[in-house]
Amino acid sequence: MGGSRRPTIKTVAARAGVGRTTVSRVINGSPLVSDEARDAVLAAISELGYVPNSVARGLVTSRTDSIALVIPESESRLGSEPYFSAVIRGVSTGLADTRTQLQLVLVRDKGEQDQLTDSVAARRVDGVLLVSVHERDPLPGLLEDMGLPTVLAGRRSPAESLSHAHSDNVGGAAAAVRHLVERGRETITTITGPLDMDVGRSRLRGWREALDAAGRDSGEHLVAAADFTEEGGRQAMRSLLERVPGLDAVFAASDVMAVGAMTELRAQGRRIPQDVAVIGFDDSFIARHTDPPLTTVRQPVEEIGRTIARILLAEIVDPDAPRQHVVLPTELVVRDST
């Protein structure tokens, strides 16, 4: 009945009556575990004969010359969002002169998260790059507790403890709004990214700060949240037009959502930019191929990928090195949609 199968962290957690995170913390000597839970885990490890591969103290310094790039999104989102392919290119470039192999890991559900933590606990990779981070995502904290070098593209919040790199999202959004104000736009709305992500909140903050500085309305009726998808952008634009039919500008927090907004504006007979000006964020290839070409905020996505790869390689060599928090500049690229 599977008696020869090697026990895993999942097996230990089930025997001890605790979560997998607790088992990982016990294995790695974390103080964030109660005495009762620690005793239960140690008893389960003893009963099952569980041996965490290279997590064992004497092997923890061994190297696999492999890192994981973890993207907690679906294949469809990975394929439709240019941001992810640009990050992957940047990371690959950052590793080009090393012997390090890159593993791309999609984490779409709890089962795949468990598979990842098993792989990490077994030290099958030397470190993790994590992209598309949500505020309450358990993965960053879990990886940190397991003692594995981990670097984020983005951050969970301004208080992020792990090393990370991201664009100047606040400044980029503010520059977009200032441009709209200078062009004489009066009612400037916004389509945000998910507000459980720092990138969504930061771009909303930049929009609001620029409007407030210009003495313009920045009320909640001018805000529609979406999910960085084209359909999300279209639905958010529809909502804004219902609430604020007189709007004459929209700042979308991604180029993909801006495309959705432009589709909805045309469907409702609005001309771009004569009736409604549209600005996106990213300066992906999409921005150059819309009709009219899209004004957008350029962020150095490939540079983000190269930066997080460089930071991770340094932390693998020296896990006690100070954490790095890197903010890369953005640039407004003016085209014909404004």
> Measured between alpha carbons, how far is residue 183 from residues 178, 223, 258, 338 in Å?
9, 20, 18, 8
The fold for domain 60-166+302-328 equals: Rossmann fold (3.40.50)
**How high is the pLDDT of residue 47?**
81
Q: Per-residue pLDDT for 4 more than 60?
A: no
Instruction: Give every CB contact of residue 126 below 8 A, 6+ residues apart in sequence.
Output: 63, 64, 65, 66, 67, 100, 149, 316
For 192-217, what is the mean pLDDT?
Answer: 97
Q: What is the pLDDT of residues 249-288, one digit of tens each?
A: 999 999 999 999 999 999 999 999 999 999 999 999 999 9
**How high is the pLDDT of residue 2?**
42
Instruction: Yes or no: say if 191 and 252 are a contact pair by the CB < 8 Å rule.
Output: yes
Q: Is this structure's pTM higher than 0.85?
A: no
Q: What is the pLDDT of residues 106-139, one digit of tens each?
A: 876 777 767 777 776 666 888 999 998 888 888 8
3-state secondary structure of 197: coil
- Joined together, the tokens standing for residue 134 give 């949500």
**How high is the pLDDT of residue 5?**
62
- Joined together, the tokens standing for residue 284 give 């992906």
Q: Per-residue pLDDT for 318 more than 70?
A: yes
Q: Whole-angstrom Cα distance, residue 141 to residue 146?
A: 9
**How high is the pLDDT of residue 183?**
97
For 45-56, what is the mean pLDDT?
Answer: 64
Instruction: Yes or no: say if 295 and 179 are a contact pair by the CB < 8 Å rule.
Output: yes
For 190-206, what is the mean pLDDT?
Answer: 97
**How high is the pLDDT of residue 249?**
98
**How high is the pLDDT of residue 55?**
44
Mean pLDDT of the chain: 88
Residues of the chain with CATH 3.40.50.2300: 60-166+302-328, 169-298
Q: Which residues pair with 128 in a beta bridge?
A: 68, 150
Residues of the chain with CATH 1.10.260.40: 9-51
Please state which CATH number belongs to domain 9-51: 1.10.260.40
| Angle, alpha carbons 212-215-221 (nearest 5°) | 65
57 against 126, higher pLDDT: 126
Least confident of 114-118, 210-214, 248-252, 309-313: 114-118
**Superfamily for domain range 169-298:** Response regulator (3.40.50.2300)
**How high is the pLDDT of residue 6?**
67
Q: What is the pLDDT of residues 73-96, one digit of tens each?
A: 777 677 778 899 999 999 999 998
DSSP, res 291: S
Instruction: Specify the pairing of strand 295-298 against strand 66-71.
Output: unpaired
163 against 108, higher pLDDT: 163
Cα-only R_g, the chain? 23
